Amino acid sequence: MPFSRIVGTGSALPPRLVSNHDLAAELATRQIETSDDWIVERTGIRQRYIADRGVKTSALATDAARLALADAQVDASEVDLIIVATSTPDFVFPSTACLVQANLGNKGAAAFDVQAVCSGFVYALTTADSFIRAGRARCAVVIGAEVFSSILDWNDRGTCVLFGDGAGAVVLRASDSPGILAAQLHADGSQMNILAAAGNVAYGQVTGDPFLRMDGQAVFKQAVTVLDRSARSVTKEAGLTLADVDWLIPHQANLRILTFLARKLDVPLEKVVVTVDRHANTSAASVPLALDTARRDGRIQPGQLILMQGVGGGFTWGSVLARM
């Protein structure tokens, strides 16, 4: 049975950088009070990138995929599987993955979206790894991409300051050596209400609530608990320990979550890739964006062991342990 290995990464951000100060000033024009101090103290976020109206998830996803393919020195025609993790698809259908496929000029690859909110990339990567290990694909592009700003209620200061837009991608190839060493996915649908965008297009209109709603404290507690459990379990499955991990790349939702997690796992914070300060929470894009950032700035080196973790709406969570 072949293994799968990450052979290239890429990422894309929309050009409009919005600092906490910019956002606070904008919200103040609508009598909504927030501040850089509050946002930094409670979340560690200092800025986010926001797509202009009309910019679609497929555009960011395509940019990230092109950079990942170039990094891997793989031609788009060689790709036989495209998976996009997103909660903000361009359309109800076709899938965003099919739109990316058309943009890349690839024909014939299997292409579909995965919906697991902020765990989406970890779900998509595990799915692609399973395809490759089963011999059903040899070269996959796996993307996490979001225009989350399009589902935010900009009158709700409890959520609108937390998120940003972006995309990250990896190229995953069949390989004789690992690669991905272990992966675990989980969900608890009974907790669907703590984080949801419970709207739907039906009968010619949007039914339900078109905006993201969150019980922040419930999500916070769940996130720390399940990320801790999942990190221990996936490293154990691979016959390794957390001390073997060179870089922990958890979903980037809140610096306090990352700090709590590192402390619980007894992993020094210097080994945790942190991009939430720059990108805010980009949902399915956050882990591949962080991975690409830390590869390109030289922190993540070939041969190192990385632990990627997702957690979010559903409620969903999961971890992928990989040798770079």
* Residues binding ligand UT7 (CB under 6 A): 34, 38, 42-43, 118, 157-158, 161, 195, 216-217, 219-220, 223, 253-254, 257, 281, 283, 312
Catalytic (active site) residue 279:
no
**What contacts 247, CB < 8 A, 6 or more positions away?**
271, 272, 273, 294, 299, 300, 304, 305, 306, 307
Catalytic (active site) residue 200:
no
> Nearer to ligand UT7 by C-beta: 121 or 131?
121
> Nearer to ligand UT7 by C-beta: 30 or 107?
30
> Nearer to ligand UT7 by C-beta: 94 or 216?
216
Tokens of 81: 């599987």
Residue 214, classed as helix, strand or coil, is strand
> Nearer to ligand UT7 by C-beta: 162 or 322?
162
Cβ of residue 297: shortest distance to ligand UT7, in angstroms? 24
Cβ of residue 194: shortest distance to ligand UT7, in angstroms? 9
Cβ of residue 149: shortest distance to ligand UT7, in angstroms? 14
> How far apart are alpha carbons 280 and 164 in whole angstroms?
5
Catalytic position from the list 20, 106, 254, 281? 281
Cβ of residue 317: shortest distance to ligand UT7, in angstroms? 10
Catalytic (active site) residue 251:
yes
> How far apart are alpha carbons 236 and 229 in whole angstroms?
11
Catalytic position from the list 118, 139, 160, 279? 118
> How far apart are alpha carbons 138 and 39 in whole angstroms?
44
Length of the chain: 324
Q: Residue of minimal CB distance from ligand UT7?
A: 216
Tokens of 136: 């059903």
Tokens of 182: 């272990």
> Nearer to ligand UT7 by C-beta: 14 or 120?
120
DSSP at 106: -
> How far apart are alpha carbons 170 and 66 in whole angstroms?
10
> How far apart are alpha carbons 224 and 220 in whole angstroms?
6
6 residue type, one letter: I
Catalytic position from the list 98, 106, 139, 251? 251
> Nearer to ligand UT7 by C-beta: 106 or 159?
159
Cβ of residue 281: shortest distance to ligand UT7, in angstroms? 5
Residue 263, classed as helix, strand or coil, is helix
**Burial zone of 22 (CB within 10 Å; 0-12 exposed, 13-18 middle, 19+ buried):** middle
Contact in structure between 311 and 225 (CB atoms under 8 Å): no
> How far apart are alpha carbons 322 and 246 in whole angstroms?
10
Cβ of residue 42: shortest distance to ligand UT7, in angstroms? 4
Residues serving a catalytic function are 118, 251, 281
